[in-house]
Amino acid sequence: MSFKSGFVSIVGRPNVGKSTLLNSITGEKIAIMSEKPQTTRNTIKAVVTGDNYQLVFIDTPGIHKPKTKLGDYMVNIAVESLSEVDAVLFLVEANTVKPGPGDLYIIDQLKNVKSNVFLVINKIDLVDKAQLLPLIDAYKDLMDFEAIIPISALTDGKQDLLISEVLKVMPEGPKYFPDDMLTDQPEKLIAAELIREKILQLVSDEVPHGVGVEVISFKQREDKNIINIQANIYCEKDTHKGILIGKGGKMLKKIGSLSRIEIENLLGTKVFLELWVKVKPDWRNNEQMLKVLGYKK
Ligand code: GDP
Ligand code: K
Ligand code: MG
């Protein structure tokens, strides 16, 4: 039997559920999710290996108008990734009446892409089926899609329908990664991201967008099956530092205990987590800091 393989980019407006889809496909939390836009800053690969196929899904930071160097970097990555893959999944939300300006902007870019473009309508758990039909028609008028696939990244299991549709256009190819590999993200980086996810969830709006997390030490304790993790939380202002630490250190404690639980789930071992908050004004425009935090090579 022939073996099929290929790369599949997931694109879409911020918050349509790209990271959630990646986690759903792998059954592991490898990409952080939040209700805030521009949560994902890196390109994250998720690998799905079957008996006669291997698909590599790529979660890209959302496509949007950039305001900082970090933003610029995120958009470039998203657009560049489209020209080098075997298929593109254009993710949109079911709970809208028609394509919005952000979707139209992405469609404009997709028209120049040579790979197969699928329209994936996510969050169908939020709407009635009847509501989907006019939305599907509206998208069909804008572009010729390889197929239109309604899903719920949040409530559906393995995404078998999506995978079988994508396999129809995949070329024969090699197994790029080992069978048991789910992602290209190092554990250290996922740990940093999980800490950032908790900050996104717990801290008010403007602070998290200026937050970067660096794991500075990640070591197994010799005596016990415990991993010691130390991380710096960078923010842009003294006032933000105050908010992140909270009264009597309450907020930092909460960030620490919630992220520790998630990191323990990820690593399957006990974790001892230490966090520090540091102010780095304008780090999002600082090339060196972007490298330190893994956003730039
Ligand atoms: P991204 O910015 O495109 O990566 O979006 P995320 O994966 O971070 O998801 C954004 C928000 O939408 C989160 O609050 C998710 O829980 C939620 N979400 C994602 N997929 C679904 C879905 O299928 N159904 C529902 N109800 N919510 C979803
Ligand atoms: K998000
Ligand atoms: Mg994301």
pLDDT tens profile 124-162: 999 998 899 999 999 999 999 999 999 999 998 789 999
Alpha-carbon distance 232 to 285, whole Å?
18
Identity of the residue numbered 233: I
Find the 34 Cα to ligand 2 centroid distance in Å.
Answer: 5
Residue 174 phi, psi dihedral angles, 5° rounding: -80, 170
Q: What is the pLDDT of residues 218-271, one digit of tens each?
A: 998 887 789 999 999 999 999 999 999 999 999 999 999 999 999 998 888 899
Identity of the residue numbered 270: K
| Residue 176 DSSP class | -
**Secondary structure class of 69 (helix, strand, coil):** helix
Q: What is the pLDDT of residues 33-44, one digit of tens each?
A: 877 766 767 677
154, 155, 193, best to mutate for ligand 1 pocket (most atoms within 8 Å of CB): 154
Instruction: Point out the ligand nearest to the CA of residue 150.
Output: 1
Q: Which atom belonging to ligand 1 lies closest to the Cα atom of 151?
A: 23
Q: What is the mean pLDDT of the chain?
A: 89
Q: Which residues surround ligand 2, an ion (CB under 5 A)?
A: 15, 34, 39
Alpha-carbon distance 142 to 174, whole Å?
35
| 24 confidence band (pLDDT: 50, 70, 90) | very high
Task: Report whether pLDDT(64) > 70.
Answer: no
User: Is 116 a pocket residue for ligand 1 (Cβ < 6 Å)?
Assistant: no
User: Is 153 a pocket residue for ligand 1 (Cβ < 6 Å)?
Assistant: yes
Q: Which atom belonging to ligand 1 lies closest to the Cα atom of 14?
A: 2
21, 23, 33, 64, best to mutate for ligand 1 pocket (most atoms within 8 Å of CB): 33
Alpha-carbon distance 221 to 112, whole Å?
52
**Which whole number is the average pLDDT over 99-118?**
88
Instruction: Point out the ligand nearest to the CA of residue 156.
Output: 1
**Which whole number is the average pLDDT over 189-207?**
91
Identity of the residue numbered 127: V
15, 38, 121, best to mutate for ligand 1 pocket (most atoms within 8 Å of CB): 15
| 208 confidence band (pLDDT: 50, 70, 90) | confident
| 65 confidence band (pLDDT: 50, 70, 90) | low
Q: pLDDT value at position 270?
A: 93
Q: pLDDT value at position 136?
A: 96
Domains of the chain: 4-167 (3.40.50.300), 187-292 (3.30.300.20)
| 105 confidence band (pLDDT: 50, 70, 90) | confident
Q: pLDDT value at position 61?
A: 65
Q: Which atom belonging to ligand 1 lies closest to the Cα atom of 20?
A: 7
Task: Report whether pLDDT(181) > 70.
Answer: yes
| 186 confidence band (pLDDT: 50, 70, 90) | confident
